[in-house]
């Protein structure tokens, strides 16, 4: 009977070991499946990033062509505006405005050492342990005295052309303007 008991115990131990090893094998397969699924997630993100890069490049190329077209159109509008003569500064149209404005002259420091030697205190801004030119005060000095301080130069303001597009759905305060406004009695030349 002891033999039968030992045999049964051995058989039970063997079955338990096989069951544990089958259970561990199943657990190991689940771990392997989790690893594969995580790799699938990483692959999906990688593929998405590649697709985003492809789309970004496509959009940049497409928008670059559109920007070139806009730039060309703006140049044509600027050319049209200058053909109208110097007295026409604004052309107000239902879809926007063409504007031409003279930019103010600017003062630039081209030789800091020479300027610092010849500048009076009204042309300087003193920050503790630092002295630097005050361009607004230098410009005011120039306007009053009409002399350019040594070490500076005048940068003549150029005319600047710009357009201002109207928002769809109406003009100011929702009111729709009819016709084209003009700030000159001069007739417009035709645009090419």
Nearest to 109 by CA among 91, 83, 133: 133
Question: Taking 50 as the threshold, does the pLDDT of residue 161 lie above it?
Answer: yes
Residue 138 burial (C-beta neighbours within 10 Å; 0-12, 13-18, 19+): buried
Please determine, for residue 116, whether its predicted confidence score (pLDDT) is greater than 60: yes
180 or 12: whose pLDDT is higher? 12
Mean pLDDT confidence for 3-24: 75
Partners of 102 in beta bridges: 159
Q: What is the rounded CA–CA span in Å between residue 101 and residue 161?
A: 7
What is d(CA 154, CA 107) in angstroms, rounded to the nearest whole number?
5
Q: Tell me, rounded to whole angstroms, the distance of Cα 125 from its chain centroid.
A: 33
The whole-angstrom distance between residue 48's C-alpha and the CA centroid of its chain comes to: 24
Average pLDDT over residues 72-84: 92
Q: What's the predicted TM-score (pTM) here?
A: 0.47
Average pLDDT, the chain: 81
């Amino acid at each position: 009977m002891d033999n039968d008991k030992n045999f049964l115990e051995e058989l039970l131990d063997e079955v338990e070991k096989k069951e544990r090893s089958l259970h561990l094998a199943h657990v190991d397969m689940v771990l392997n499946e989790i690893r594969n699924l995580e790799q699938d997630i990483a692959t999906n993100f990688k593929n998405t990033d590649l697709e985003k890069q492809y789309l970004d490049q496509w959009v940049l190329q497409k928008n670059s062509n559109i920007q070139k077209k806009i730039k060309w159109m703006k140049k044509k509008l600027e050319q049209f505006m200058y053909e109208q003569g110097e007295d026409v500064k604004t052309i107000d149209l239902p879809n926007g405005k063409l504007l031409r404005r003279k930019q103010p002259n600017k003062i630039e420091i081209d030789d800091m050492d020479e300027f610092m030697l010849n500048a009076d205190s009204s042309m300087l801004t003193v920050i503790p342990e630092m002295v630097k030119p005050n361009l607004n005060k230098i410009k005011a000095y120039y306007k009053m005295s009409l002399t350019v301080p040594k070490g500076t130069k005048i940068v003549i303001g150029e005319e600047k052309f710009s357009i201002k597009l109207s928002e769809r759905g109406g003009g100011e305060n929702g009111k729709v303007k009819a016709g084209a406004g003009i700030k000159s009695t001069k007739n417009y030349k035709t645009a090419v």
